[in-house]
Amino acid sequence: MDTYSSPEQAYKIGILLIDGFALMSYSSVIEPLRAANLLGKKHLYRVDHIAIGNRHETISSSGAAICATATISDHQDYDLILVVAGGDPSSFDDEPTFQWLRNKARHGVRLGGVSAGPVILANAGVMKGYRMTVHWEHAAALSENTPTLLLERSLYIMDRDRITCAGGVAPLDMMHALQSEIHGPEFARKVSDWFIHTDVRPSGNPQRSGMIERYGTHHPSIIQTLEIMENHIADPLSLKQLALLSSISPRQLNRIFIKKIGQSTMSVYRNLRLEKSYNLVRQTVLSLTEIALATGFSSSAHFSKAFQGKYGSPPSSYRQDIQSKA
């Protein structure tokens, strides 16, 4: 995984706003970027507000207008494109926008969606094989319309080159994770403190207490490392990479995990990935190969062996058993 602790150039973000977007979700995305530029005393982030077609502005659900600085017809290069939407995203059916998103995906641009934005990404066909989340208001309809999606009820999910977020104030937590990845956890904490956002929540839980109760520890290095693991299920990191992102040495991190949890860092990581695969086997119709890739296993054979080692039978037998009881 690439990290950007001191990037030479500004990280370029395109925010594609869809009429009816919520100002709360939008401001929770844009304000951490503004604060980072202020605290970093230089343009760490450059942001374009992207409009559809030849429009000059996009209107929020409260009637506020955001002026566009770019359109989808411009040939701009971005490190990340975030789609921010609200209202009724299923009614959005603009094929040029869908094609633009698919083209960016083919060229390796990181794509994200906030609030109802993930629905736009799913309808564009760029979320196949990626774990994702969406605002609870849209979750049932999205799951019913596209049952093969890897949809979870989380604050946000960072899966390889896709980022999805439930909206509201959850983007504050998502942006903290993104800025930790790009500029390091110490700088990201300064940005969060700027907004008195002192209790940053992990991606997979609505509240930090859930993770604390599950693992029985408040140790900040463990909580932060577990959050990083949650954000890298399909693209597992090495112990060295986990330690780097947690600002601790690999040896010390492993010692803390063994002392506080009773397992090595990588054993906890592997079990976390297998638990995700267990839920996918049980709750989705994805092939075992697709599940293996979505949970970071190099092949279906490797996945099957690891699954059997933890749950006592291979995933194929487990799925057949579930189907027989249905």
Domain that holds residue 227: 207-326
- Tokens matching residue 208: 């930090």
Residues 221 and 264 in one domain: yes
**What pLDDT does residue 134 have?**
92
With respect to residue 275, please indicate whether it lies within any of the assigned structural domains: yes
Euclidean distance between CA atoms 211 and 204, whole angstroms = 9
Q: Which domain CATH number covers 172?
A: 3.40.50.880
Residue 192 lies in a domain: no
Pair 175, 297 in one domain: no
One domain for residues 227 and 176: no
Query: pLDDT at residue 229 above 70?
Result: yes
The chain-wide mean pLDDT, for the chain, equals 87
Residue 68 confidence (pLDDT)? 92
Whether 100 and 151 map to the same domain: the answer is yes
Tokens of 106: 């083919």
Mark whether 55 and 167 lie in a shared domain. yes
> How many domains does the chain fold into?
2
| Of residues 232, 303, 218, the one with CA closest to residue 261 | 218
Are 212 and 140 contained in the same domain? no
Per-residue pLDDT, 200: 74
d(CA 107, CA 84): 21
Q: Per-residue pLDDT for 271 more than 50?
A: yes
State the chain's maximal CA–CA distance in angstroms. Answer: 61
| Domain assignment of residue 1, yes or no | no
Domain final position from 148, 166, 182: 182
pLDDT one-digit tens code per residue, 153-204:
788 999 999 999 999 899 999 999 999 889 988 898 999 888 888 777 766 5
pLDDT grade for 283, boundaries at 50, 70 and 90: low
Q: Based on the domain organization, do 174 and 216 belong to the same domain?
A: no
Regarding pTM above 0.85, the answer is no
Tell me, yes or no, whether 195 lies in a domain: no
Most confident of 41-45, 182-186, 276-280: 41-45
**pLDDT in the model for residue 231:** 79
Instruction: Give the alpha-carbon dihedral of 306, 310, 315, 317, to 10 degrees.
Output: 130
The residue type at 170 = A
Compute the average pLDDT of residues 220-233: 85
Q: What average pLDDT does range 30-54 have in this prediction?
A: 92
H-helix segments, the chain: 23-40, 95-106, 117-124, 136-145, 170-183, 185-194, 208-215, 220-230, 239-245, 250-260, 265-283, 288-294, 300-311, 315-325
Please give the torsion angle defined by the CA atoms of residues 31, 37, 43 and 48, in that order, rounded to the nearest 10 degrees. 0
- Both 132 and 218 in one domain: the answer is no
Same domain (yes/no): 178, 211? no
Q: What pLDDT is recorded for position 251?
A: 95
Domain at 212, CATH number: 1.10.10.60
pLDDT exceeds 50 at position 226: yes
